[in-house]
Homo-oligomer: A and B are copies of this chain.
Amino acid sequence: MKGGTVTVRDTPTGWNSEPAGAEPRGRPRGRPRSEAVEQAILEGVLRLLEGGGTLSSLTVEGIAKAAGVGKATIYRRWPGKEALLLDALATLDNDPLPETGSGSVRDDLVRLIEFVRQRGVSKRESELLRLVTSEVMCHPDLSQQYHDRFIAPRREALRQVLVRGIDSGELRDDIDLELLGDLFAGPMLMRTVLHQWAALPEDLPERIVDAVLDGVRKK
């Protein structure tokens, strides 16, 4: 944890994206970083994860070996294993959020939850999500970054749909917005993250949304 000499000149993928005008400065002097190396490292991480290894089995040296690079090359780009995991997650998680606001609020909710389900059914993404979540839960600083980059946009999209539903009179206006979101997202996240052995049938989003909308009390 003490100061070192390895200088992280810049970070292409943005784990510590410099906020102020750092981009428009001229190209740095020496040999530029290889984009191929960048992708080889991220691809190596994903490849190692497909074997369903434990978190401790994903070592930096193993990543370097799998990617055919030196360790220093990894530490030149990321401050540690955790930030690298976050960027690896980002390479899988770049699908755009589904369009909302066109049809009924009910269909928008189904679309958003189906989007979450898709993460769970993909073996590769599921394994990665599981490890990242477990890693993030122990690192408060990473927890913040993970929340900002991955959780917050989804929660915001869900929130907008819910606000639209309240305004249009389709949803009750006497329930906390946050609670409302958890009612819809909780059941699906529970299956994708907590117990991965649960099945994720195609119609699960529909069933969740309709059950939460209509209530489970026998009329």
Contacts and interface: CB of A to CB of B under 8 A. Distances in A.
Interface stretch (A26-34, A66-74, A133-141): A133-141
A159 interface: no
Given A189-B194, A211-B175, A217-B213, A134 B130 contact: no
A151 interface: yes
Contacts of A178: 198
B175 A207 contact: yes
B187 A182 contact: yes
A183 interface: yes
A131 B143 CA distance: 13
A40 interface: no
A186 B195 contact: no
Given A179-B208, A187-B182, A193-B194, A172 B130 contact: no
Interface of A: 52, 54-56, 130-131, 133-135, 137-140, 147, 151, 169-173, 175-176, 178-180, 182-183, 185-191, 193-195, 198, 204, 207-208, 211-218
